[in-house]
Chain A
Amino acid sequence: MRPPRRLAHSALGRYAALVAAIFLAAFAVVFALVATTVSAYTERRIVETIRTDLAGLEEVWRVGALPGLERVLADRRAAPSASTPPRIHLVIAADGERVAGDFVAWPNDLAPRGETLAFTDAGGRAWTGLLRVVPDGPTLLVAHDRSEHEALMAGLARELALPALLAALAALIAGIVVGRWLLARIERVNATARAVEAGDLAARAPGATRDDEFGELAANFNAALDRIAVLMRSVHHLSEQIAHETRTPLARLRARLERARREIATDPAVAPRAFDEAIEESAKLIAVFAALLDIARAEAAAGDARGLAPVDLAEIVADVIDLYEAVAEDRGLVLAAETRPVVVLGERMLLTRLLANLVDNALKFSPRGGRVDVTVAVEGDEAILAVRDRGPGLPDGFEVVAFDRFTRAEATATVPGHGLGLGLVRAIALRHGMRLGLDRADPGLRVTLRARRAVE
């Protein structure tokens, strides 16, 4: 287990901070909306109150003229209403003479605020006021103290700041906790990867059975490890097999050379035959290695489109029949072909070799008087190359390993071959992305190769 990363460098720290930041931003937006709504509402209330007041004062003027106004304002000053915020008034007669009010003159810093006026008095209090010019009458100014409104807004901000901070903190903590939990599950996969890297090839990520994304991650990771393990086992198996399969011919080669050395001393006349046999033995060994290399090369080229060219399967069949017809005839077999021109993408030499191996095999396992059929057919956009013999077929269960390197059915021990022919067939099919099939044909065996037709 490696030491935990510092929070600032871990994905966890970044995600938790991001969650908290998003939360704070959302909260700020909500607060701004609430503040503007509240502010607009109280502002409207103030303006409405002032407007009612102004209408009342105008009415007072109509009934009692300027003296009436003076009296009302004096009353108000004497007994301020408890229900309304502090207010101030100013009445200016039509000729511009100040009649009554709390101001000595017009305030200087009147600033229009929409339809209302805003100003600050000498004591620093903020006011919102409304001006009304009564036709043929005085000009009236009523202003309300804004401090209560300001206090309300400030209070709102104060009241909400703490919950906002608390909520952001909660978001941060939640981010860290949830993140920890998620990362802990990722860490388990990471720990497995490190264990595999350190040499524990059997290590597998836990939690692969859970039906969620992390379960899927663990399951996929494990599946990849399993696949690698299978491949490694087969490589290991193969190298053991190669070592084993080459020991026998090497032993025979050595035995023949030793015999040649003995014979050259005792009976020089017969020695050359032992040498010939040794050379023949080495040729067989070379053939085994060449076949192994060819298989490896074809497998490595699987899926590589370079080197592929349009090839007519019918021509390949004709070439191979031309090569093997005489062999079939000598063994009392019939080698027949039924083809039609079908173009596929392939390496001509490799495909010829594939078919040669299949035909070679079919002829080898055919009883005297038997028949081998090679056919090329078309099914939709697929070309099907098939080789059918009437031999003994495959023993039960042999289908699975028939194309493996060095496998030979037990009953065929007397038939010559190194057990690599079908291995090469499979490698060449793989190289071309072609599908290989083995069917019981009763009697005999049918090997099919399905290839995508080339677009002409």
Chain B
Amino acid sequence: MQVLIIEDDAVMAAHVADLLAGRGAVCETVADGRAGLARAAAHPFDLIVTDRMLPGLEGLDVVERLRALEVETPVLVLSALGQATDRVEGLERGADDYLAKPFADDELLARVGALLRRARKEPHPEVLVIGSIEIRVKARTVHRAGRHVALSPKEFELLRCLAEHAGQFVPRSLLLERVWNLRFDPQTNVVDVHVSRLRGKIDEGFEAPAILTARGEGYQLVADPT
């Protein structure tokens, strides 16, 4: 996997490159918008991670020009401009996802994972099988080790989102966005309550927990629950 990082802050660029290298990516870092555009247009990367406020050319201008050149490489915008309107602007101008700085490492990895999956255009499977858990998407039913687990609609969406990222930590903010369509963090950790209910139902009668808590930041559905 080849990733182009367009970021003028050396510390941030090295940090993102380190994170992605941990997932097996080969990263190339460029500190200037124009150079980034030239490199992205010339080489088939799997993913572009770009800042917004860049010397030479603004990050969103880079994205817009890439799209005009019919380069469809998935782009994740990483920006200190993190308001809802900034995000909407980023997506409207061709970015595939938008993450506000400062961010949690797990959230960056989760979003990158989702982007790459989408880019690979994997067909949405009708049945998701994660270890002993079987999720039928259309029928909206869940079985663990052959036993039916009754879930509320939101609990089902929660499990599906975790299942799509099985084996990875999914931050709360991503769950809020995907399950409740909310782009803000409620003061009380409402997600925790919903997850603990889901956990109660899915783990009932099983010794090994299927859902892990990630250092207070998010959750993970283990890749191979028994």
Contact = CB atoms under 8 A, between A and B. Distances in A.
B180 interface: yes
Contacts of B102: 282, 286
Interface residues of B, number: 23
Given A276-B216, A326-B193, A327-B193, A356 B85 contact: no
B10 interface: no
Given A279-B215, A282-B102, A307 B85 contact: yes
Contacts of B188: 324, 327, 360, 363-364
A307 B84 CA distance: 11
Nearest to B196: A330
B154 A322 contact: yes
Given A283-B104, A294-B83, A349-B84, A326 B190 contact: yes
Contacts of B216: 276, 280
B217 interface: yes
Interface in A370-422: 416-417, 421
Interface in A288-314: 290, 293-294, 297, 307
Interface string A314-350: 0000010011101100100000000000000000011
Nearest to B197: A326
Interface residues of A, number: 31
A349 B186 CA distance: 12
Nearest to B185: A287
A234 to B, nearest CB: 22
B1 interface: no
Given A276-B216, A294-B83, A330-B193, A357 B187 contact: yes
A297 B82 CA distance: 11
Contacts of A293: 82-83
B90 to A, nearest CB: 15
Nearest to A296: B83
Nearest to A348: B181
Contacts of B85: 297, 307
A124 to B, nearest CB: 94
B182 interface: yes
A326 B83 contact: no
Contacts of A297: 83, 85
B201 interface: no
Contact of A283 (B82, B180, B217): B217
A349 B217 contact: no
Interface of B: 82-85, 100, 102, 104, 154, 180, 182-188, 190, 193-194, 197, 215-217
Interface of A: 276, 279-280, 282-283, 286-287, 290, 293-294, 297, 307, 319, 322-324, 326-327, 330, 349-350, 352-353, 356-357, 360, 363-364, 416-417, 421
Given A297-B85, A326-B193, 14 more contacts: A280-B216, A283-B104, A283-B217, A286-B102, A287-B185, A293-B82, A294-B83, A307-B85, A323-B190, A327-B188, A327-B193, A353-B182, A363-B188, A364-B187
14 contacts: A279-B104, A279-B215, A293-B82, A293-B83, A294-B83, A297-B83, A326-B190, A326-B193, A327-B188, A349-B84, A349-B183, A350-B84, A356-B182, A357-B187
